[in-house]
């Protein structure tokens, strides 16, 4: 093969090489166009006024895209309200052209069944009931001998012992409590009303007051009091609470229960027989007044 024939063959072989380059360029341009269009469509966001987006198909640049439908609204303000105010319900008086007043009744709005009955049956606001008044006698300012004489004249079993530092008043518990109970009776409240005035007097201003509860040796076992210890302590506490109500300072009061450990007379004889009179004497409330040293105050 001659050189001229070889050159012609090589030229014929490379004649269509430019088509490959042209096709590659067109492909790259098409990809660039698609990417640009996708970026442009993806960058569109609904405005803040969108309330209920819905999908609608639109045509853009020859390609269909799902675009949200924007429904805008105008915020309600009083200034933008032009609607007339509603007509009043019920009779309304108007003056006609000839000066005569006429009354027109506007239609009433429908009400649910039973509305009027419920409104009429609505209860009044609840008020807190006034607590009942407690029967508290006013303390009587009297000296201790006068109080003892007055209580003894009423038949109250009372024993007073006066000392230099310690003064005691022993009062039978039957005047304060019923059997097996720690509820203060009205008679007991009256007695304490007499005693409280003396306890608050200047005579005993520097004295500390201890209320002692004592029982006999008869066992007791109830849901409220498991033994005479609980009963005697509860009775002493009941007396203290009432004295507090009468105005005796709390820092001057102490409650102590001794059960049957400090009898003033034997509850039983040597053979174990009960002595009712001695048991009655042992069931007592003791008001113990002890002078406080100034060094301890």
Question: What DSSP designation does 77 have?
Answer: -
Q: pLDDT-derived band of residue 106, with 50, 70 and 90 as boundaries?
A: very low
The bridge status of strand 101-106 relative to strand 166-172 is unpaired
Q: What is the pLDDT of residues 259-289, one digit of tens each?
A: 999 999 999 999 999 999 999 999 999 999 9
Q: What is the pLDDT of residues 55-85, one digit of tens each?
A: 444 444 444 444 444 444 444 444 444 555 5
Helix (H, G, I), strand (E, B) or coil at 103: strand
Question: Could you tell me the pTM of the whole model?
Answer: 0.53
Architecture of the domain made up of 144-291:
2-Layer Sandwich (3.30)
Q: pLDDT-derived band of residue 124, with 50, 70 and 90 as boundaries?
A: low
Q: What is the pLDDT of residues 194-204, one digit of tens each?
A: 899 888 888 88
Residue entry with tokens 């442009």 = 40
CB burial class (10 A; 0-12, 13-18, 19+) of residue 113?
exposed
Task: Of 284, 22, 52, give the one whose Cα is nearest residue 177.
Answer: 284
Q: What is the pLDDT of residues 153-164, one digit of tens each?
A: 888 888 999 888
CA gap 138, 143 in Å, rounded: 16
- Is the pLDDT confidence value at 295 over 60? no
Helix (H, G, I), strand (E, B) or coil at 291: strand
**Count of CB atoms within 10 A of residue 163's CB?**
10
Structure-block tokens of residue 82? 């032009």
Q: Where are the domains of the chain?
A: 144-291
CB 247 within 8 A of CB 138: no
Average pLDDT, the chain: 76
């Amino acid at each position: 093969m001659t050189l001229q024939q070889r050159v012609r063959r090589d030229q014929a072989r490379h004649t269509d090489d430019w088509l490959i380059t042209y096709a590659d360029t067109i492909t790259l341009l098409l990809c660039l166009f698609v990417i640009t269009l996708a970026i442009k469509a993806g960058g569109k966001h609904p405005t803040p006024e969108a309330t209920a987006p819905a999908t609608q198909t639109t045509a853009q640049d020859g390609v269909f895209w799902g675009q949200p439908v924007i429904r805008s609204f105008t915020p309600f303000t009083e200034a933008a309200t032009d609607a007339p105010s509603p007509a009043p319900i019920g009779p309304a008086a108007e003056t006609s052209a000839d000066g005569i007043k006429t009354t027109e009744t506007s239609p009433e709005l429908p009400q649910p069944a039973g509305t009027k009955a419920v409104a009429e049956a609505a209860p009044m606001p609840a008020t807190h009931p006034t607590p009942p008044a407690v029967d508290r006698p006013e303390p009587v300012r009297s000296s201790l001998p006068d109080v003892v004489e007055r209580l003894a004249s009423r038949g109250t079993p009372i024993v007073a012992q006066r000392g230099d530092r310690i003064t005691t008043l022993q009062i039978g518990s039957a005047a304060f409590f019923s059997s097996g109970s720690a509820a203060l009776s009205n008679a007991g409240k009256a007695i304490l009303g007499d005693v409280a005035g003396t306890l608050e007097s200047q005579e005993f201003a520097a004295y500390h007051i201890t209320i002692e509860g004592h029982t006999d040796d008869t066992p007791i076992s109830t849901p409220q009091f498991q033994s005479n210890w609980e009963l005697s302590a509860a009775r002493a506490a009941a007396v203290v609470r009432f004295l507090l109500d009468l105005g005796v300072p709390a820092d001057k009061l102490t409650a102590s229960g001794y059960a049957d450990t400090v009898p003033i007379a034997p509850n039983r004889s040597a053979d174990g027989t009960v002595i009712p009179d001695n048991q009655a004497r042992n069931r007592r409330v003791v008001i113990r007044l002890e002078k406080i040293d100034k060094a301890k105050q």
